[in-house]
Structure 1
């Protein structure tokens, strides 16, 4: 199978599961008997421990030939981990299984992104066109699983996760042709610690951690918040789907309309969208404003993520790609989001939807961090 098709399918299957997990897992946990405080703890702990899992996995991946076998193993373990939720739904079981699946499942993100980064160089892969199928599947999950939950019950949230992981395992057992090529010996993959010490990498991680971490409260509690404001599960699914549809349009136009932009302008645009979005969501739950806020997901996540991809695939040399991808996924998308989620439960109990304003405050330092150009600090001599 051609790499573009293989990766498109892998992104689609992974993000169908992720589109089930992010908006609806809190509802499944509530169905399983977890309290709001326990849900916040479980979601936050899961986000935090994924940092350990991602760094542990990616520290072992130093060459392109490692990518596919590791993806196969993690797909199998993820399937087994989520299937175990069927039989172990006590507080202890939810805690143990949450830790286990978050050590395994999220590591598939940097692995697939690292494979895409290799193919960007190797076969000039159109990243946006490939990645948008993941976003499309995310929307499909939002709509389909929302309806299943509403009509057939919350157990279908877990059923959907298991089915998507089973199909992903089957796909991972096939081989894209050509396989990701090895880097030249002179550009062997660097260790994560060495990549972290590169000029500019620390500032890049702080910027992306604040931008992506500010989404944590939205991911964990928007469904519960909007449900309590009277919106049905299917409407919530439509709102989530609308946000990801806007993201798809950004990815689809990446090469044609955004290809000339580097990391810094994309991250600046992401900052502006995130600030406006969180201010709106904290101020109102009127449907027309929710629609506008969800359209801003195109920038708050989409442009921010494309900025990160630019930095990793274009503005760092090949030896740093795997390490930088691991750091971005574990710190910016994992650890910081986990910490924010862990405190989101108590914050939501005290401030409700106004917690979105704290997310707006969280992204403000990014304006100062992006005041200086990134490029001169990103290039190695």
Structure 2
């Protein structure tokens, strides 16, 4: 299979992977609320989506880096994830849903880190094209966010498992053609321990705090807008606005990173994220402030993610790249996302606005962590 054909299939994989997130992440809170769960229970359940990223990606990455089986693990994750997702159709009680989410996300977490590694290795000396390939994921997210919002308005929250199952089938179909191009990893070489005291440590600390700040957005954004008087369909359109801004930023990111450097752009992005969450706390009833807040998603996720993926790819050699991507995912989206979502669940029923104020504080501290990155780590080698 030629590199261009493989990139098309990888783009399809990104589309379906993030389309599933477009169904699950914004609307799971609404779905669980319709099944009678409390805000604290919803926060705990949504935290599982993040928490399984703490352990699962690292286990899968150990297998990938030891065997070179990257595309095979994507296929196993998609197939087993689709099979275990069937448990979602049964309207079980709280602990049933805990087990259901834990099992299917364990397999689901085998996918993304390997997808990132294969994409960057396929691109070779053209890493600037990463944003174009990754934007297929943003496109999948935006399409399903809007479609799911209208579907829930038409048929109710119980439509969510059916949409998710169809997308799981699409994900499995998209990854099956990927060739088993195993890397020769040099298993006899002694691996140098990962040094957390330098740039990698500061970067990961900042990433954890930034994802902690995103907890209210990932877990309670649609519910927050619904309580402010917006419909699910309208909330979906606002989510879509953020993803459109994200797609545009993915296109611009290589040029911006090459010109201004990773450190300065991460600092600006995290500061803008802090401002974004304050707009959510105090300006949710204003269409103008809510729109500006969502446009800032271009920085909160788009620019931050593009820079972070490049940073990890450069800091780890070929024998540790799955480990590096999994470490980034597990600590930021896993530890940070789980803590942020769980904490918001505890606070939300008492004072929803306080969740966003605390989120802004976490983002501001994240920006201070970025300042600790040395200047030599500032500019990735992008052409």
TM-score of the two chains, using structure 1 as the length reference: 0.91
What is the deviation of 1:197? Answer: 4.2
> In the alignment, what sits opposite 1:185?
186
> In the alignment, what sits opposite 2:302?
302
2: CA distance between counterparts of 1:189 and 1:262? 32
Contact 1:43–1:220 (CA<8 Å) still a contact in 2? yes
What aligned pairs does 1:288-299 form with structure 2 within 5 A after superposition? 288-299=288-299
Deviates more, 1:315-324 or 1:164-173: 315-324
Deviates more, 1:111-120 or 1:364-373: 364-373
Deviates more, 1:181-190 or 1:153-162: 181-190
1: CA distance between counterparts of 2:190 and 2:239? 37
Contiguous gaps of at least 5 residues in structure 2? none
> In the alignment, what sits opposite 1:253?
252
Give the secondary structure class of the aligned counterpart of 2:198. coil
1:303/1:123 CA distance change after superposition, 3 Å: closer
What is the deviation of 1:254? Answer: 2.7
Contact 2:66–2:185 (CA<8 Å) still a contact in 1? no
| Aligned counterpart for 1:56 among listed residues 56, 59, 63 | 59
Contact 2:206–2:367 (CA<8 Å) still a contact in 1? no
RMSD: 2.4
Deviates more, 1:117-126 or 1:339-348: 117-126
What is the deviation of 1:366? Answer: 2.5
TM-score of the two chains, using structure 2 as the length reference: 0.91
Contiguous gaps of at least 5 residues in structure 1? none
> In the alignment, what sits opposite 2:202?
203
What aligned pairs does 1:130-169 form with structure 2 within 5 A after superposition? 130-169=133-172
2: CA distance between counterparts of 1:317 and 1:195? 11
Contact 2:19–2:167 (CA<8 Å) still a contact in 1? yes
Give the secondary structure class of the aligned counterpart of 1:59. helix
Contact 2:60–2:110 (CA<8 Å) still a contact in 1? yes
What is the deviation of 1:190? Answer: 5.0
What is the deviation of 1:195? Answer: 2.7
> In the alignment, what sits opposite 1:92?
95
1:241 paired with 2:240, answer yes
| Aligned counterpart for 2:29 among listed residues 14, 26, 29 | 26
> In the alignment, what sits opposite 1:271?
270
What is the deviation of 1:23? Answer: 0.2
Count of aligned pairs: 375
2: CA distance between counterparts of 1:375 and 1:86? 51
What is the deviation of 1:336? Answer: 1.5
> In the alignment, what sits opposite 1:215?
214
What is the deviation of 1:40? Answer: 0.9
Give the secondary structure class of the aligned counterpart of 2:224. helix
